[in-house]
Each structure stands twice: as C-alpha cells, then as structure tokens.
Amino acid sequence: MNTLTGAWDWLGDPAHWSGDDGVWHRLAQHLVLTVVCLVISCLIALPVALVLGHLGKGGALAVNISNIGRAVPTFAVLVLLLLTPLGKWGEGPTVVALVLFAVPPLLTNAYVGMREVDRSVVRSARGMGMTGRQMLFHVELPLSLPMVMNGVRIAAVQLVATATIAALAGGGGLGRIITAGFNLASTPQVVAGAILVAVFALIVEGIFEIAERLAPRCARGIR
Amino acid sequence: MTAPPDDCLARNEWICGEYLSTRRQILLDAVVQHLQLTAVSVLVGLVIAVPLAVLARRWGWAAGPVLAVTTILYTIPSLAMFSLLLPVYGLSATLVVSGLVLYSLTLLVRNILAGLRAVPEETRQAARGMGYGPIRLLLTVELPLAVPASMAGLRIATVSAVSLVTVGAIVGFGGLGNLIYAGMNTYFKAQVLTASVLCVVIAVAADLLLLAVQRLITPWTRAARG
C-alpha cells in the first residue's frame, strides 16, 4: 500500500507532468509513435494482404508470418536495430521495429478475413459480371472488414506494448518513465509509469471496442 | 605492453566465433536461466488455467468475467506488467515468472475453454448414457477432446513466454535478455546477435517439441484424417 500511495503522490506532483521528461511529453511521444507506425503498417500490410487474399495466393506466408513475429523477441530486434547504422537516426530503430511487429497481425487477419468470405457470394459476384476490382472493393472487402479491423486492433495493442519496450533501448514514450524509475531505484516512479502505460493500453483497446460496437451492423460481422 | 589482439572481438563484428568459444559458460548460464523461467511460468500457468477453464465451462456466468479479466491482463504491456509487480516481489526471478504466468494464463484459459466448448453435445450425452459420472466425463472424455485446442494455446503461450523473458532484463532476470541488455550498453554486436538468435532457436525448438508431444498424445486426430 505504501508504494501505491507513493505512486499516487508521484502522479499528483505537477513537476512530473511538465518538461521534456514530463508525462505530457512522453504521452505525446507514445501517441505519435503508435499512430504513425499504425498508419505506416496498415499502408504496407493491408494492400498486400487484400491482393493476396483476393488472388488466393501466398497463404502459407501470410498465415505463418504471425507465428514468426511471435517467436522473435521485440527487445532483441530493438537492440539489434540500435546497433546498426540506423541507430544514429533518432527514433529510427523504434519506428522500424514497431512497424515490423505490427505488420504480421495485420497481414494474417486481413488475409484470413478475405479467404473466409463465403465462396458462393464471390462466385455469384463473378457471375453478375463484376470485375476483379469491383469484387475486391464491393464484395470481399466489406465482408472481411470485421476480421481486418480485428487485425488493426491487435496491431494497435502490440504497438503500444512495443513502444513501451523501446524505452529500454533508448526510445521515447511512456516507457521512459519506467526505465528512469529503475535507474533512480524509485519504486513509486516505476509503478506510476506502469499505471500510465497500462491505462494508455486499455484506453486504446477500449477505443477499438467502442468503435466495433458503434459500427453499422453490416460491418460487425455475424459471430 | 603487448599489442591488442586483432580478432573479431576487437573489431566488434556481428558474427564472431571467438565470442562463442570464450563466452561459452556465460551463454550456457543464460540459456539455462531462460529455459527455467519459461518452463516454470508456462507450467504454473497451465496448472492454474485448467481449473479456471473447467469452472468457466461448468458455470456459464463465470465465463464472461474470466475472459474479460484475462483480456485486460493481456492488454497490459509486458514492461508495465513487470513494473506493477515490482512492489510485490522486488527485483527477483519470481517477479518475471509471475508476469509471464499472467500472460500464459490468458492464452491458455481462452484456448482450453474453446476446446471444452467444442466437445460435441452428442459425445457428452453418449458418455452420460454409458453411465459416466461428471468427474469421469470431464477427465476421460471432455479434457482429452480439448487437448488439440489446448495444445495450440500452450504452443502460443510458450513461444510468447520465450520472447517475453528477455524483457525481464530490466530486473536482472531475463535469461538471454540480460546478455542483450548488457551488449546494448557496451555496443557489443556479437553478444547481442548471438543472444537474439539463441532466443529464436529456443522458441522454434520449444514449438516443435510441443508439436511432437501433441502428436504423441492425440493419435486419433491423425487416424481420422488419414
């Protein structure tokens, strides 16, 4: 209980919220890293997954890439990138590592979603004379949207977690409050930072949960 | 004064045979610690997850809260999870194990529950008709049929645990993660690369091992397919 009140006091001190090491600045860094990397990963992964899913090719790769992503430790990749020439370029290693770990869930979910679209619906679309492009955008994509969005949600949560670990390798973000706490041997600061990170992650998860509930019925999928 | 040796260690190369031979003991210790942390956490997770999943299956109302809590636990990033446990366990291996148990628990409960739910109602009724009591039904029919789904969860949980142990380096108990952390601070490329590759090797080996175990204990899944 002592540590919790300590953490509470740490969070209550306005001095800890301002400045370059302050909570607001770290929160902004974390948010920018997450959003920017989510957009980059979506731009890379979704077109590839949608085209592969539409053509029905490259399935083994698209499905197995998630397993590969899980086996490779994020911390190891962050440190490896830091020691390459890329490491001199500020947040470079963090951005690359974040994108690398957000792409697999996006790719796998979007691909599986595309392949799970009822084949008879796809065939009737073809029978109606739809072109490949029309089928992709008017039939397959809308029907696979719930799975695609599930992938985006998993990727977003993964990004928040990886961005936190990036602090161990010198990256910015809320994780820095935790690592600084460890360096100062200040348990209250460590716990305060952890609470901030956990709340941030739960808010991100919550936003997707609410978006899913508010989405029109057709986009929600039948589960 | 002798001239500094001009080997791959002095040149700080990524791949270095010299590193492997001179630091063999350090690497071995790190691998052993990595394996211990992973094995203990996954096993403890399994021991807790099975009763939880069985209870959630028995009492439908318990499934919602159990799944909600595990989802929330899984959303919390690993570094934050370890940090939240710091006041409870201090800088110890128990802290890393507890954090990993919570993550494995999440994956295992979901998969075991899915496996139990997938047992066909006819099978259950047939067993009851043959005079099976609830305990015998659970132990000899439901749990064995849930093994494939549970093993899938166990494999994911183990591979994730191998990868997450490295984050334990923040409290000094990260197995190979300790070497990566130390290598980062000293820009020791060979150490970081060797430890990272070993992590992936352990994860792949554990996954294949569990796959082999699954094939051994569920011979019927192959017979049905072939």
ipTM above 0.90, yes or no: no
Residue to test with chain A: of B165, B184, B204, most A Cβ within 10 A: B184
pLDDT (mean) for B42-48: 96
DSSP B91: S
What is Dmax (Cα atoms) for chain A?
Answer: 70
Which tokens is B179 given? Answer: 């070497």
Main-chain phi, psi angles of A184, to 5 degrees: -85, 0
Query: How far is residue B166's CA from residue B200's CA, in Å, rounded to a whole number?
Result: 11
Residue A219 pLDDT exceeds 60:
no
Residue B7 pLDDT exceeds 60:
yes
Residue A223 pLDDT exceeds 80:
no
Contact predicate B142/B164, CB 8 Å: no
Length of chain A counted residue by residue: 223
CA-based torsion, A199, A201, A203, A206: positive or negative = negative
Distance from CA of A84 to the nearest CA of B (A): 9
- Check residue B225 and give its pLDDT: 55
What average pLDDT is seen over chain B? 89
What is Dmax (Cα atoms) for chain B?
Answer: 88
Q: With an 8 Å Cβ cutoff, are A179 and B183 in contact?
A: no
Architecture of domain A2-220 in this structure: Orthogonal Bundle (1.10)
Query: How far is residue A68's CA from residue A105's CA, in Å, rounded to a whole number?
Result: 11
Distance from CA of A213 to the nearest CA of B (A): 16
More confident site: B44 or A17: B44
The reply to whether B170 touches chain A by the CB within 8 Å rule is yes
Contact predicate B105/B73, CB 8 Å: yes
Question: Which pairs from A89-93 meet CB under 8 Å and 24+ separation?
Answer: A91/A33, A91/A171, A91/A172, A93/A166, A93/A169, A93/A171
More confident site: B4 or A50: A50
pLDDT in tens, A69-128: 888 999 999 999 888 887 777 788 889 999 999 999 999 999 999 988 888 998 999 899
Chain A residues inside the 8 Å CB shell of B209? none
* Phi-psi category of residue B5: left, alpha or beta, with phi > 0 → left and psi -120 to 50 → alpha: beta
The reply to whether B96 touches chain A by the CB within 8 Å rule is no
Nearest to B187 among A76, A83, A160 (CB): A83
Walk me through the domains of chain B, giving residue ranges and CATH numbers: 17-217 (1.10.3720.10)
Query: How far is residue A191's CA from residue A7's CA, in Å, rounded to a whole number?
Result: 6
Position A10 confidence tier, pLDDT thresholds 50, 70, 90: confident
Residue A222 pLDDT exceeds 50:
no
Chain A residues inside the 8 Å CB shell of B169? 75, 168
What average pLDDT is seen over chain A? 87
- Check residue B162 and give its pLDDT: 94
- Check residue B97 and give its pLDDT: 95
Global pTM reads: 0.86
Residue B41 pLDDT exceeds 90:
yes
Query: How far is residue A95's CA from residue A81's CA, in Å, rounded to a whole number?
Result: 10
Which tokens is A149 given? Answer: 């969005």
Which tokens is A52 given? Answer: 């592969």
pLDDT in tens, A31-81: 999 999 999 999 999 999 999 998 888 888 887 888 888 889 999 999 998
Residue recorded with tokens 């352990």? B202
Residue to test with chain A: of B12, B73, B76, most A Cβ within 10 A: B76
